[in-house]
Amino acid sequence: MKQSLQQAAHRFFVLGMVVKGIDGILELVGATVLFIASPENLTALAIFLTQHELSQDPSDLLANTILTITQDLTVSAKLFGAFYLLIHGCVKIFLVWNLLQERLWAFPVSLGILGLLTIFQLYRLNVHFSVGLGILTLIDLVVIGLIGMEWRFRARSGMTSA
């Protein structure tokens, strides 16, 4: 029973790492878009992407949030977002790669870095609540738990990869 629990936890760990890796790649794409596009172009893109949903439901929370964010986007906020996504995406991809390569040093480093990023996200949520950031923060907390469990399993089993 304990072995099957560890196997299930390991599968969720690998799945979580794949999701985090994809998330990191999407953050790099988002950073690139923010660096390249003007605030006006981002607003036009948001209008294009949300117009169908808003025509069916003018009070749609997600569509209205996307429009509000892009319409209120300043150049400095755009640059902050681009740099944040760039750094966050690169760090995630680096950590995920090393965790999937089973490098033990990556477990505590990942927990520390993801913990600090999550604290920053919680601060940002406190200053300006965002449903999207709230969901990402919850996902990050689950991933932190999975990394911790995987690290504990590896430590108990005596696995000592470099």
- Give the tens place of pLDDT for each residue, 21-67: 998 999 999 999 989 988 888 888 888 988 888 888 888 888 888 88
Residue 68 is predicted with a pLDDT of 83
One digit per residue, the tens of pLDDT, for the chain of length 162 reads 577 888 888 899 999 999 989 989 999 999 999 899 888 888 888 889 888 888 888 888 888 888 888 887 788 878 888 998 999 899 999 999 999 998 999 999 999 999 998 999 899 889 988 777 888 889 889 989 999 999 998 888 766 554
pLDDT for position 17:
93
Using DSSP's 3-state secondary structure scheme, residue 105 falls into coil
Residues 51, 19: Cα–Cα separation, whole Å = 29
Residue 151 pLDDT: 93
Give me the helix-helix angle, 75-100 and 39-56, nearest 10°.
80
Euclidean distance between CA atoms 23 and 89, whole angstroms: 7
SS3 percent helix, strand, coil of the chain, rounded to 5, is: 85, 0, 15
Predicted confidence at residue 75, as pLDDT, reads 81
Predicted model pTM? 0.75
- Looking at residue 83, its amino acid is F
Position 161 scores a pLDDT of: 52
Burial (CB count <10 Å: 0-12, 13-18, 19+), residue 101: exposed
Closest by CA position to 5, among listed 158, 161, 153, 155 = 153
DSSP helix/strand/coil, 151: helix
**Predicted local distance difference test score (pLDDT) of residue 144:** 93
| Phi then psi dihedrals of residue 105, to 5 deg | -60, -25
Query: Would you state the pLDDT for residue 107?
Result: 96
Query: Which pLDDT does position 45 carry in this prediction?
Result: 87
Output the pLDDT for position 1.
59
